[in-house]
Amino acid sequence: MCLLVVMCFALTQLSAGGQSAPGFEVASIKPRFDDSGIEYGRQSPPDRFIWQDVTLNVLIRHAHQLFEFQITGGPPWIDSRRWDVDAKAPGPTKGPEMRQMVRRLLEERFGLKTHFVTRQLPVYELVVARRDRSLGPNIKPAVLDCRPFLTGARPIDESPEDPETGFPACADGGSFRRGLITPSLRGRPLSGLITTLEAALQRTIIDKTGLTGIYDIELSYVDHNLVGKGIGSDDDGPALLTAVQEQLGLRLRSSRGPVQVLVVDSASEPTVN
């Protein structure tokens, strides 16, 4: 199960002459009323943006690469009404430019108006837990530097193969079984772990470890929110904060700090086409 999604703030890109990046050639947005006809795991062609059964909130998060806790405001239906989106770009389009096109689509079709603010909110500070600064057994110097594949400098299918799984060794990976989540991060700086923790904890994490290396990291923990919803069992496995300290030799301590938040000023339901 792919557990990670690399999250960061994307800068608005302008093309020559000060014009905004091109929009989609054609886009279909239709309301979704049930789960019939959804193609789970469908891979979009490189010139298409195809997302099914998705809320406006999720589209905004994808377009701006934000977590749920970083979005506020908007109409009551922003988290409940679901849509099927199928849009075609002028040609093969990579992540940052595609997200720019999705932002333009949301502005044009949903009438989306937003602005960013910085608020003082609860955060976690990630620190080394032990006085001798030794790390835990599940974080080790990386065997392979995966940064070129993670940044898009090289395609992920050129990554060396993991002999155990047969998948690219640099791909985000892990497992989920009976409520026990085991993300596996290879060949990346500590920022990869921080993104994973922010997604799980829904809180900004400030790196105060001073660690600058490239690491292979594996973390196993029980998501008690999922267990509380009847997904899996918490009979075996630590909570996330405990796992971080015991397995990685790191610690998350509560604090407050500046967090960039996207405020949704207004949005309207699109005309169906």
Burial tier of 207 (Cβ tally within 10 Å: 0-12, 13-18, 19+): middle
Give yes or no: residues 227 and 104 share one domain: no
Give the per-residue pLDDT at 228: 52
Give yes or no: residues 100 and 157 share one domain: no
Distance CA 124, CA 96 (A): 28
Confirm if 173 and 182 have CB atoms less than 8 A apart: no
Give the per-residue pLDDT at 237: 82
Give yes or no: residues 159 and 78 share one domain: no
Residue 205: count other Cβ atoms within 10 Å of its Cβ.
Answer: 19
Q: Domain for residue 115, yes or no?
A: yes
Give yes or no: residues 230 and 254 share one domain: yes
Q: Domain for residue 107, yes or no?
A: yes
Could you tell me the maximum CA-CA distance found in the chain, to the nearest angstrom?
62
Give the per-residue pLDDT at 40: 54
Give the per-residue pLDDT at 233: 56
Domain span holding position 212: 121-258
CA dihedral 87, 90, 93, 98 (to 10 degrees): -50
Give yes or no: residues 127 and 202 share one domain: yes
Query: Which residue matches tokens 């496995």?
Result: 237
CA angle 215, 219, 223 (to 5 degrees): 145
What is the sign of the dihedral through the CA atoms of 226, 59, 95 and 263?
Answer: negative
Give the per-residue pLDDT at 17: 35
Give yes or no: residues 147 and 251 share one domain: yes
Give yes or no: residues 133 and 113 share one domain: no
Q: Domain for residue 191, yes or no?
A: yes
Give yes or no: residues 144 and 214 share one domain: yes
Confirm if 158 and 235 have CB atoms less than 8 A apart: no
Give the per-residue pLDDT at 44: 78
- Asked whether the whole model's pTM tops 0.85, one would answer no
Q: Domain for residue 68, yes or no?
A: yes
List Cβ<8 Å contacts ≥24 apart for 40-48.
46/92, 46/93, 47/88, 47/89, 47/90, 47/91, 47/92, 47/93, 48/86, 48/87, 48/88, 48/89
For the chain, residues with pLDDT lower than 70 are 1-21, 36-43, 178, 224-235
Residue 22: count other Cβ atoms within 10 Å of its Cβ.
Answer: 15
Give the per-residue pLDDT at 8: 36
Q: What letter represents residue 63's amino acid?
A: A
What is the sign of the dihedral through the CA atoms of 175, 181, 187 and 193?
Answer: positive
Query: Which residue matches tokens 């009323």?
Result: 33
pLDDT per residue over 79-88, tens digit each?
A: 999 999 999 9
Distance CA 202, CA 196 (A): 10
